[in-house]
């Protein structure tokens, strides 16, 4: 932990919610399971003791990208060691579908396969290894069909999973006609594997009267409940889904855990025995979707100062073979194309290309990073064309401060009332010594022919809420026991991000008791029903508010009871430091709960919260889809070896707006993790399919996520001191997804270093991920442009 972080934790624990000096929110408490994580005692789905008679399942997967199955011979599979049963789509008693929005995603193929890795059948055996060995013995005769593998090919063939989207504002064509300057081009940004440490897993245990308990590593227990119920042909009340914690999710366990839950439950229901389906890493990566890669065609008009006056972009994503969550991902990309910049006249199109690859899905940022990086690439080009520092062009195009010049309304019609990007960037520019370091980088490059340094400062504006309005709701249960201890259950899921810690802090603060008296239990559809996914950075916002609502109800009951004991006013009763106070009267919280119980005061309550003020019209793509915006900025300095394309991040400075942070330690950790994860997406994590449509980067040996050696030795992360203008939980702001956009600065610092090879006169053609190979190609391209210019002169 760096000194800035330590200083922040010491000084940034504000008293909130009317309390005096005492507070449980705003404190840097450790993660509630931190000790369990370190000791290896945290229970994940695969750690749960197996019930007697448990069987193990494995998936038989397609070896073709697009084909009809002429015949399938499972005789050798059925006779393999330990095999108990083999199931196909014909054995599914209910609906053969696990699509979250559109029903185009079969659990098991019914004769048509649409990507390499698509599940066709299930083997259930006595052991995990025996099941995996058996699936390989299948003999399938395929009739191969033409396959589409890239978003560009899908766009050319007009192959989409849903109709194209379009958002316009003003008159872009007219604005282009009068624009003094134009820049146009293409950009490709690759996808990304979630690479959670714990793979996909579900454990289904049959119960009486067609009941089923599904222990599942999932971000969306309620959706798993629905999918399993539909697959089994039973009502939702027959299915209970439970998740204590995940070993990471990052969006990959929002909708795509459904396949694994459904297969385990179908197998368990068929055999009347518990069945576990655990994916090995290779199978996991072959079957599941990733972050959508995007291809862009763009054109922007700008004046001689660098201010954007017109923008046109066509974005095509690789949706994969089915729709999954591609529609909301594309919508968020459209809504985040502006990032922090006011765009007066725009024409934005988004297409979701249908390809014969894994069906891509949610990933931290959910389309926001893919939308925002395009405008950042464009601004970077404008700056180089004008011979100016990109930071100056960025600042020139920022949204106005509140009503300044009317430049505070987004392209989708939402008014920005909380813009702090000017102040935040100014602070980071000063604390990172950006201007001095810019001069030092230029001096270094002038005297270094091989190693080149690059520097970039990039901003972030990220909208917080689900695109779909009705998902913005949450429920909670709070139980207070007679010894003063508290048990909380809420609809959010814990995937390491610390939602349970924050919710516990909120409840402890509301009841005025120490955090150690509050415990949060596993997410369970039989306790809090109809929950939304823990996604869209809304987990703590929604579930914190719901838990606060439940705790407040109990607090009011106890206040009225205590006031009645002393003939006082309930409004004057306060709760703090583990005790309840009214004038000169004081009583430990545990003693009060005992007395309240003896007087038959209800000591439990449910709570509910729905985010107010949200609305969205998907036809016009206008409305107020976000409750508020989170802001941030980062500065990165890199050095690039122009002979090999290798590079190193020397220093990173990040400043993030978490509002009035619920837990600074957790929030800083989330910023640090998101930065490195986003950096991996943009630099090292390359997904590659061969000509036959097989994903070749399907294991740690071929897919490179960042390691500890990729982290900068000088890593300075700080939270911007701010207070949410919206009535969020204790005026905090979300910290899950927005920080993933901070490492844009790494990508553009690399591009800055490459541009220096040509004297910063040419825009390097650099796509993401900027692997060493891509960097070297970009260096060669800049050298060729410089040589051509020199020869022409």
What distance in Å separates the CA atoms of residue 391 and residue 369, rounded to the nearest whole number?
Answer: 19
Task: Indicate the pairing of strand 647-656 with strand 714-719.
Answer: parallel
Asked whether the beta carbons of 58 and 111 are under 8 A apart, the reply is no
Can you say whether the dihedral through the CA atoms of 34, 36, 40, 44 is positive or negative?
negative
Can you say whether the dihedral through the CA atoms of 578, 582, 587, 591 is positive or negative?
negative
What distance in Å separates the CA atoms of residue 659 and residue 677, rounded to the nearest whole number?
Answer: 22
Q: What is the DSSP letter of 560?
A: H
**Is cis: bond before 707, omega within 30 of 0?**
no
What's the half-sphere exposure (Cβ side, CA atoms, 13 Å) at 315?
Answer: 35
Exposed / middle / buried, residue 449 (Cβ in 10 Å: 0-12, 13-18, 19+): exposed
What distance in Å separates the CA atoms of residue 764 and residue 474, rounded to the nearest whole number?
Answer: 47
Asked whether the beta carbons of 67 and 113 are under 8 A apart, the reply is yes
Question: First vs last Cα of the chain: how many Å apart?
Answer: 53
- How many helices and strands (H and E) does the chain possess? 20, 29
Which pair of structure tokens corresponds to residue 593?
Answer: 């709960």
Largest Cα separation within the chain, whole Å, is: 95
Asked whether the beta carbons of 135 and 59 are under 8 A apart, the reply is yes
Roughly what angle, to the nearest 10 degrees, separates helices 664-683 and 3-11? 150
What distance in Å separates the CA atoms of residue 234 and residue 226, rounded to the nearest whole number?
Answer: 10
What distance in Å separates the CA atoms of residue 432 and residue 4, rounded to the nearest whole number?
Answer: 12
DSSP string, 441-499: HHHHHHH-SSEEEEEEEEEEEEEES-SSGGG-EEEEEEEE-TTS-EEEEES---SSS-H
Asked whether the beta carbons of 333 and 373 are under 8 A apart, the reply is no
What distance in Å separates the CA atoms of residue 712 and residue 75, rounded to the nearest whole number?
Answer: 55
Query: Helix (H, G, I), strand (E, B), or coil: what is residue 262?
Result: helix
162 in the Ramachandran plot: left (φ > 0), alpha (ψ -120 to 50) or beta? beta
What distance in Å separates the CA atoms of residue 228 and residue 114, rounded to the nearest whole number?
Answer: 23
Strands, E assignment, 412-472: 451-464
Is 737 known to be catalytic?
yes
Please tell me which residue in 299, 494, 685, 737 is annotated as part of the active site: 737
Task: Scan for tokens 């957790």, then name that residue.
Answer: 666
Query: Helix (H, G, I), strand (E, B), or coil: what is residue 296?
Result: strand
**Phi, psi of 513, deg, nearest 5:** -120, 160
Which pair of structure tokens corresponds to residue 125?
Answer: 């055996």
What distance in Å separates the CA atoms of residue 302 and residue 287, rounded to the nearest whole number?
Answer: 44
449 contact partners, CB below 8 Å, separation of at least 6: none
CB neighbourhood size of 71 (10 A): 8
Q: Which residue numbers are catalytic?
A: 737
């Amino acid at each position: 932990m760096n000194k800035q972080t330590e200083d922040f934790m010491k000084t940034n624990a504000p008293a909130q919610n009317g309390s005096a000096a005492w507070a449980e929110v705003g404190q840097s408490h450790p993660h509630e399971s931190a000790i369990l994580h370190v000791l290896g005692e945290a229970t994940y789905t695969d750690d749960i003791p197996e019930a007697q008679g448990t069987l193990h399942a494995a998936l038989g997967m397609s070896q073709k990208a697009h084909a009809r199955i002429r015949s399938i011979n499972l005789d050798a599979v059925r006779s393999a060691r330990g095999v108990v049963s083999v199931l196909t789509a014909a054995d599914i008693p209910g609906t053969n579908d696990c699509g979250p929005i559109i029903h185009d995603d079969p659990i098991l193929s019914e004769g048509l396969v649409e990507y390499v890795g698509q599940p066709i059948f299930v083997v259930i055996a006595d052991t995990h290894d025996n099941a995996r060995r058996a699936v390989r013995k299948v003999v399938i005769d395929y009739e191969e069909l033409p396959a589409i593998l890239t978003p560009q090919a899908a766009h050319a063939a007009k192959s989409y999973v849903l109709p194209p989207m379009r958002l316009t504002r003003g008159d872009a064509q007219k604005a282009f006609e009068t624009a003094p300057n134009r820049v146009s081009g293409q950009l490709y940004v690759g996808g990304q594997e979630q690479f959670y440490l714990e793979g996909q897993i579900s454990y289904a245990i049959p119960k009486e009267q067609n009941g089923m308990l599904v222990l599942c590593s999932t971000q969306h227990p309620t959706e798993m409940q629905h999918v399993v119920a539909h697959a089994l042909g039973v009502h939702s009340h027959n299915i209970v889904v439970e998740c204590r914690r995940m070993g990471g999710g990052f969006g990959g366990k929002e909708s795509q855990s459904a396949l694994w839950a459904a297969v385990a439950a179908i197998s368990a229901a068929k055999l009347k025995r518990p069945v576990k389906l655990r994916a090995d890493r290779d199978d996991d990566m072959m079957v599941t979707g990733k972050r959508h890669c995007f291809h862009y065609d763009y054109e922007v008009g700008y004046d001689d100062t660098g201010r954007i006056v017109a923008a046109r972009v066509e974005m095509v994503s690789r949706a994969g073979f089915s729709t999954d969550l591609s529609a909301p991902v594309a919508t968020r990309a459209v809504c985040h194309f502006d990032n922090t910049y006011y765009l007066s006249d725009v024409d934005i199109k988004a297409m979701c290309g249908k390809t014969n690859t894994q069906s891509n899905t949610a990933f931290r940022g959910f389309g926001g990073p893919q939308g925002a990086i395009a405008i950042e690439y464009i601004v970077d080009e404008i700056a180089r064309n004008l011979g100016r520092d990109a930071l100056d062009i960025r600042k020139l195009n920022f949204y106005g401060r509140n009503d300044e010049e009317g430049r505070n309304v987004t392209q989708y019609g939402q008014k920005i009332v909380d813009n702090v990007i000017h102040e935040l960037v100014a602070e980071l520019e000063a604390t990172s010594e950006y201007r001095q370091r810019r001069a030092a980088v230029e001096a270094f490059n002038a005297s270094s022919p091989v190693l080149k340094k690059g520097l970039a400062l990039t901003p972030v504006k990220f909208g917080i809420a689900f695109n779909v309005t009705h998902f913005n709701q949450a429920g909670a249960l709070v139980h207070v026991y007679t010894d003063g201890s508290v048990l909380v259950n809420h609809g959010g899921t814990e995937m390491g991000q610390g939602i349970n810690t924050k919710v516990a802090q909120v409840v402890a603060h509301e009841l005025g008791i120490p955090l150690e008296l509050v415990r949060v239990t596993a997410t369970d559809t039989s306790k809090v029903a109809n929950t939304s996914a823990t996604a869209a950075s809304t987990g703590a916002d929604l579930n914190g508010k719901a838990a606060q609502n439940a705790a407040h109800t109990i607090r009011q009951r106890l206040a009225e009871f205590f006031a009645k004991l002393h003939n006082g006013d309930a409004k004057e009763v306060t709760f703090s430091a583990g005790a309840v106070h009214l004038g000169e009267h004081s009583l430990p919280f545990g003693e009060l709960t005992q007395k309240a119980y003896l007087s038959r005061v209800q000591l439990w309550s449910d709570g509910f919260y729905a985010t107010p003020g949200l609305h969205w019209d998907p036809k016009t793509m206008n409305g107020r889809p976000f409750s508020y915006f989170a802001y941030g900025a980062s500065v990165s300095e890199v050095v690039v070896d122009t002979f090999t394309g290798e590079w190193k991040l020397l220093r990173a400075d990040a400043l993030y707006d978490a509002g009035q942070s619920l837990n600074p330690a957790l929030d800083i950790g989330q910023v640090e993790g998101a930065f490195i994860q986003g950096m991996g997406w943009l630099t090292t994590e390359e997904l590659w399919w061969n000509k036959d449509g097989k994903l070749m980067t399907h294991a740690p040996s071929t897919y490179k996520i960042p390691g500890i050696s990729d982290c900068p030795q000088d890593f300075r992360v700080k939270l911007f001191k701010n207070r949410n203008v919206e009535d969020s939980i204790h005026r905090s702001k979300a910290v899950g997804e927005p920080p993933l956009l901070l490492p844009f600065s790494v990508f553009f610092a690399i591009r800055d270093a490459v541009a220096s090879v040509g004297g910063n006169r040419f825009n390097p053609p650099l796509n993401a991920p900027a692997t060493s190979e891509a960097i070297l190609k970009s260096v060669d391209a800049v050298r060729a442009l410089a040589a051509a210019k020199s020869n022409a002169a």
